[in-house]
Amino acid sequence: MGEALTSLLLGLDRTEIAALVSEAGEPNYRAKQLMDAVYGQRLETLEEIFTLPQEFREWLAHRGMTVGAAQIEKKFVSVDGTVRYLIRFADGQTVETVWMPEGDGGEAGDGSEAGDEAEGSSLTSSGAKAQVQSSEPIAALKRLATQNQNQDQTHTQKLQDARRKPDRSTICISSQVGCAVDCQFCLTALLGVKRNLTAGEIIGQVCAVLKDQRVSPPEDRVNLVFMGMGEPFLNYDNFMKAARLLVEAVGIAERRMTVSTAGIVPRIRDFGDENIRPKLAISLNASNDALRTRLMPLNKKWNLEMLMAAAREFPLRTREWITFEYVLLGGVNDEPENAREAAELLRGLRCKVNLIALNPGPGIDFSTPAADRVETFQKILRVAGIPAFVRRPRGRDIYAACGQLKRTVEIPSSPVPQLHHIRHLS
């Protein structure tokens, strides 16, 4: 298996491609042609790369090289336009990748360009007035919490400009076949972990979806979230190589990528030292150690004190905020006291919280909280000065929403409720 994967072009960086070109005795510019063919044009076979001479293509084939494109085995389309892809690799293993044509609002409030666009879209749909300003963070949070309408004109104009731009899409990609973290509310955890994905297999998901959707960054604005199957920080080297190639070769800016971790503390520190890195999101999901250990056994190894210390030491860039994700489970972690505890944990951090009402599925012994409990939890955080946003559920009816990825092929005839009655405060 290892030898076969090393013969794939997809996943090789510029240095590795240049070495291959040099080995073939070809001029240096062939490396750029090959990179563009594989990552820019997203061609799937050597025969399609007409910019290369026939002799070079034959040399690559004789050496055992193939492009290594990911194959779409099945597609499931939601009533809201979300598409869940079942993608197969050379060894027969499959993962899931999700296309959200209008995103899910997960970037809102994170300080980035994509975050401004998400806030602008949320404003358009909800009519809410308050905004987060990137300067004077504490004062800005207070203004947001009290829905103050005295907004900074420059920031408001930027949001208005974002609303006039075309819709932006988000691709949610996987980093492992299955997952080893064993969060008790996640369908993916029921699979266990089969293996890590290579950098090429991570990128291959993106290339397959871009090609199927006929979009091409950077001309088309695409956001990426490493929030599919698996824990990216348990496959750190392949994840980081993929992230670098997605920036340098595919054309997706790092400010348009977000990686979510369950809290692999040593890797959070490593991640802060990277020159090219996506934005950071941390799955919190509980407000105290006892509850978090029950829901996320990983907390036994890296508890909240260790996790929050790593978050406070994380070197944020200009206008960058850490996102904390909190999956709300009815009657378990959604009490007002949990909200107040969470606010204390996060006090003083340059961060925002994404609240996710549980996306249900077979084998998950928790329930989705009522809409009023979600709103109460959000309001408590905001009054405490913590920007909190309710993530819109996308693709629940096809098991494509957060925590639902389990390679489900049989979809129930009665769709999972979409919770449209939750009022999104933005």
Compute mean pLDDT per 10 residues along the chain, 426 residues long, and list them. Answer: 63 97 97 97 96 97 95 92 92 92 66 60 39 40 41 41 57 93 81 92 96 93 94 98 97 96 97 97 97 96 98 95 96 97 97 91 84 97 96 71 52 43 35
For strand 83-88 and strand 388-390, is the pairing parallel, antiparallel, or unpaired? unpaired
pLDDT of residue 183: 87
Answer whether 118's CB lies under 8 Å from 106's CB: yes
Show the CA angle centred on residue 255, arms to residues 138 and 396, nearest 5°.
90
Contact call for residues 233 and 261 (beta carbons, < 8 A): yes
Kindly report the CATH number that applies to the domain delimited by 71-398.
3.20.20.70
Residue 96, strand partner residues: 86
Q: Which amino acid is at 319?
A: R
Of the candidate CATH numbers 3.10.20.600, 3.40.710.10, 3.90.1150.10, 1.10.150.530, the domain formed by 2-62 belongs to 1.10.150.530
Domain map (residue ranges) of the chain: 2-62, 71-398
Q: What confidence score (pLDDT) does residue 134 get? A: 34
Tokens 């929403």 correspond to 401
Which of 58, 65, 53 is CA-nearest to residue 19?
Answer: 65
**CA separation, residue 15 to residues 11, 22, 28, 35, 390 (Å):** 11, 10, 11, 11, 43
Report the sign of the C-alpha dihedral through residues 226, 231, 233, 236, in that order.
negative
Q: What is the pLDDT of residue 111?
A: 59
Task: Name every residue whose Cβ is closer than 8 Å to that of residue 37 and which is 6 or more positions away in sequence.
Answer: 43, 48, 49, 51, 52
Token pair 């890296």 is at which residue? 302
Q: Which residues are catalytic?
A: 96, 402
- Per the listing, tokens 């890590």 go with 196
Distance CA 94, CA 73 (A): 9
Q: What is the pLDDT of residue 33?
A: 98
Whole-structure pTM value:
0.81
Phi-psi map region of 177: left, alpha, beta (phi>0 left; psi -120 to 50 alpha): beta
